[in-house]
Structure 1
Amino acid sequence: MDNELRELFEIKEDHKIKVSEEKPNIAKHILIRLAIFIAGTIGFTAVIFSSGGWDVIGYLIIMFGFHVIWFVYILIETFILYINKKYILRNVNLIFSAVVLILYCIAYITVFNIQL
C-alpha cells in the first residue's frame, strides 16, 4: 500500500511476530492434570474396594465416566491452547493425551485378556 493511504487510514505495519516473553511452566501444567487423574483414580479405586456386589459395577461405570470427561477436558483445553497460540502447552497436552491413550489400551488388553 501507498504510505499516504496508510497514514490516511492509520494502518500500521508491524512485521514483528509477537512472542510471549514468559515461558510456560510445563512441569506445573502436567502435574496439575496428572494429579487430578491420579486422585480420581485412587478415590474411585478405594470406593470400589470398600463396596461389594453390584455396587462395584456401578462405581466402575462412574469411574469410566470420570475418565471420559477428564480426557475430553484435556482435548478441549488443547484446542483452546491452539487458539490462544500457546503451542508448547498444546503440544504437551497432545503428548499427554497420547500417553494416556496408550495406558488405556494396555488396561483394556489386561482386563479383557485378548487372545491372538
Structure 2
Amino acid sequence: MDNELRELFEIKEDDKISVSEKKQNVLHHILIRLAIFIAGTIGFTAVILSVSGWDVLGYLIIMFAFHVVWFVCILIETFILHINKKYILRNANLIFSAVVLILYGIAYIAIFNPQY
C-alpha cells in the first residue's frame, strides 16, 4: 500500500491485535457462576418453603425462569469468551454447562420419573 494512503487512513504497519495474555483463573471463574446459581436456588427454595397453596407453583415457575436465564447468560458469556480469545475460560464454561445439563436431567428423572 502506498505511504500516502497509509497516512490518509492512519494505518500503521506495527498495529497488531493484542490478545489478553493475563492468566485466566478458571477456579475463580467457575466459583462466581456457581455462587450465583446456588444463591438463587437457595433463595427461591427458602421462599417456596415459607408459602403455601398456589403460590408454591408460581415461585417454582419463577425459579425455573431464573435457571433458564442464568443458563442462557452462561452460553452468551461462552460466545463472548470465544470472541475475546479466552479459550480456557470458554472451555470451562462449556464443561460447566454440560455438568449443569446433566444435573437438570437427573432432577427431571427424579421429579417426573418417566417410565417407558
TM-score range, shorter chain: 0.7 to 0.9
Q: Residue 13 of structure 1: CA displacement?
A: 7.2
1:1-116 aligned within 5 A: 8=3, 9=6, 12=13, 20-116=20-116
In 1, distance between residues paired with 2:70 and 2:114? 26
Which consecutive segments of 4 or more residues in structure 1 shift more than 2 A?
8-14, 16-21
In 2, distance between residues paired with 1:103 and 1:89? 21
Any idea what the Cα deviations from partners look like across 1:24-75, whole Å, max 9, x if unmatched? 0111100000000000001101111111100000000000000000000000
Percent of aligned pairs with the same residue?
A: 75
In 2, distance between residues paired with 1:66 and 1:39? 11
In 1, distance between residues paired with 2:53 and 2:105? 27
The structure showing larger relative contact order (alpha-carbon pairs under 8 Å, at least 6 residues apart) is: 2
Q: Residue 97 of structure 1: CA displacement?
A: 0.4
TM-score by length of 1: 0.85
TM-score by length of 2: 0.85
In 2, distance between residues paired with 1:93 and 1:23? 16
Could you tell me which runs of 5 or more consecutive residues in structure 1 were left unpaired when the two chains were aligned. none
In 2, distance between residues paired with 1:73 and 1:85? 18
Q: Residue 22 of structure 1: CA displacement?
A: 1.8
